Chain A
């Protein structure tokens, strides 16, 4: 998963979890159903437009508000491969690592990226290349523990290994 290359969808500041997945759809936790409404109140056409492997690039405080894991789940199930933002709200940040969705804080990369650009992310090195401009950006480093979470495929897989669960 070290290299992720995809097309960018760009969003502004303070995109809260109500815009990522409105509460009217929280009567289910089925990832596929949630994906049908992903980002709907920020861009009603997003669920139609988004393609497997696309990347979301957003401003500050992405994912603020509710603790609903439905938000990163809907994004992941919609096929989004990674999110880059100037900053993330804290529960959204945890949730994303816990479910194995790569997210990176990189304010300069956000400034230098436009909708439709193709960018290449190296999650190991923490670099982001904009293939249109050729500029390489550096993301804030991911703490080693959280890298372990991503590598394991999320928190539950990590715990399963650590505590030897699921073995009769």
Chain B
């Protein structure tokens, strides 16, 4: 019987020919990622168990991106634990400030993750790399410590739901809108323990940036992983970045899926997810009366150069609403420099934005844009849980960079058509 792309990658990494959904397997890992929040616990466990050296200095990746540049003494201590470990173990892919960006944008950009890889990361949005045709999933710190020790991890083989996107995208409907709509349809546990395989003619035409945005949010539907079959767009993205071999996998035509969900994108308009769950989605036009205190454009979901270009196009020559804070954070230093080169930083700054250094920052309510009691923010991030960006009584609305830029101008949730008449 046929296998899915996910089953094939898992089988190859388990040393077997086939795997069965539901089965527990042990697999070899190609990349094991930790950050300044999750790695310190992993390092403690690694030492407690008496391990001396990580299994492969080329495959362990350490990215201090959450609370850097450090916001306080405690977070500086966490980052130091990471740095000291990287030095001690000779970790090749450790990124210091000035080089560091948000992990899930940085790793693909630097060619560290490639098609066909099996990647685990102590960060739930590790599922992002599925956009390259890799199996990639979030794990905990103890899992990470175990992987550093043995180079392997135990996994339950997930069932796969196939999503087929067809039809014609409406103006301003980006990867973010497609994934928000999908989560709105299946719910925050709609793909619990499963793999989401995203396919169809609409996906085949999406640029990599939108594909990353979509697989990034697979975990918001409870999924173990999101995956997109590699194609010319994928190969074009990795050709200048890959420094080692990789493998392309594809689902067989007779592969077994737990469900096939058909999505006609012609019916989708720009989306907003209302507090406090990513499944609370509405069309932007239905909620355009909601007034905002802050707009944040950034994060591993939408902090890429394409996202900044969209924001700059809409904000060019305009001003943010008085008293609204507009925070823009390019996800990596490379993106920051590219945005400088293209004049994007200047356009955004003239529109009244504050531009932050590459970091997770306000996405998780860490620093640089935390909300006060009762405040409302629209963010291009992936989670709008209670207290996610600050006070437990603040609110987060999730949307695309285009909606975020438009909303910054009017001070309320706004459809881009309302403030920008040009081409998308």
Contact = CB atoms under 8 A, between A and B. Distances in A.
Interface in A65-103: 65-70, 73, 87, 89-91, 94-95, 98-99
B139 A94 contact: yes
A28 B385 CA distance: 21
A27 B78 contact: yes
A67 B139 contact: yes
Sort chain B's interface into a size bin: 35 or more
A41 B387 contact: yes
A69 B44 CA distance: 13
Given A19-B387, A61-B188, A87-B189, A165 B154 contact: no
B365 A94 contact: no
A91 B410 CA distance: 39
Contacts of B200: none
Size range of the chain A interface in the assembly? 35 or more
Interface in B204-227: 219, 222, 224
A89 B141 CA distance: 16
B140 A91 contact: yes
B71 interface: yes
Nearest to A28: B74
B124 A91 contact: yes
B142 A167 contact: no
A166 B78 contact: no
A54 interface: no
B75 A98 contact: no
A134 interface: no
B365 A66 contact: no
B392 A98 contact: no
A53 to B, nearest CB: 23
Contacts of A14: 188-189, 277
B184 to A, nearest CB: 15
A68 B38 contact: yes
Interface in B44-80: 44-45, 48-51, 66-67, 71-72, 74-75, 78
B383 interface: yes
A135 interface: no
B388 interface: yes
Interface string A105-149: 000000000000000000000000000000000000001010000
A49 interface: no
Interface in A1-55: 14, 16, 18-19, 22-24, 26-29, 41-42
13 contacts: A18-B365, A24-B366, A26-B366, A41-B386, A41-B392, A67-B122, A67-B126, A67-B140, A69-B141, A90-B222, A145-B24, A156-B45, A166-B50
Interface of B: 24, 37-38, 40-41, 44-45, 48-51, 66-67, 71-72, 74-75, 78, 121-124, 126, 138-143, 145-146, 149-150, 154, 188-189, 192-193, 219, 222, 224, 277, 364-366, 370, 383, 385-388, 392
